């Protein structure tokens, strides 16, 4: 329960930061990508501030023997740059550049009742569910498992 409350509080803090910085408004994000037109540097300052806080936060957190709400830190061990990682990054960037939303601001704007954010979030969650279903089918279907050599 403590971990759930901690995650909820973190989400509220993050959402509040997005609203305060104006990053829940896709016009600000799209303005950053419009380098040939009326460029809006706000996103660069928000990212810079976030990176600064993250660098300090990681240094402080990893001095602890364990996280506050878990038994151990869960740090990715893979450093491989593969097609799946690059493909995901490309899809993320394309979606962000086209719609002006990435997942965090999309949820915040959807909660605020913005129709396009609700549609974006529904499509994003649907895509995640479809991907999870496809992964499950690839690991449970005997024919597909034979094709993959597993």
| pLDDT score of 149 | 62
Q: Do 28 and 43 contact (CB within 8 A), yes or no?
A: yes
Q: Please say if the pLDDT value at position 67 is more than 70.
A: yes
Average pLDDT, integer, range 72-78: 88
Whether the pTM exceeds 0.75: the reply is no
Residue 22 falls in which region: left (phi positive, over 0), alpha (psi -120 to 50) or beta: left
Average pLDDT over residues 7-30: 88
Q: Distance between terminal CA atoms of the chain?
A: 38
Cα(74)–Cα(54) distance, integer angstroms:
16
**How far is 66 from 83, CA to CA, in rounded Å?**
33
Q: With beta carbons less than 8 A apart as the criterion, state whether 23 and 105 touch.
A: yes
- 149 or 129: whose pLDDT is higher? 129
Within the chain, strands assigned E span none
**Phi and psi (nearest 5°) for 96?**
-65, -45
Listed range (39-43, 67-71, 136-140) with the worst mean pLDDT: 136-140
């Amino acid at each position: 329960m403590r971990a759930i409350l901690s995650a909820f509080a973190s989400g509220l803090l993050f959402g509040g930061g997005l609203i305060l910085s104006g990053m829940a408004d896709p016009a600000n994000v799209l303005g950053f990508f419009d380098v040939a037109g009326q460029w809006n540097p706000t996103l660069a300052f928000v990212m810079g501030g976030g990176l600064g806080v993250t660098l300090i936060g990681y240094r402080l957190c990893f001095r602890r023997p364990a996280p506050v709400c878990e038994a151990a830190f869960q740090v990715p061990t893979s450093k491989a740059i593969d097609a799946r990682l690059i493909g995901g990054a490309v899809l993320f960037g394309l979606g962000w550049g086209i719609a002006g939303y990435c997942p965090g601001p999309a949820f915040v704007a959807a909660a605020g009742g913005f129709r396009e954010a609700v549609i974006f979030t529904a499509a994003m969650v649907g895509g995640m569910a479809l991907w999870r279903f496809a992964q499950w089918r690839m690991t449970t279907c005997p024919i597909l498992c034979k094709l993959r050599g597993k």
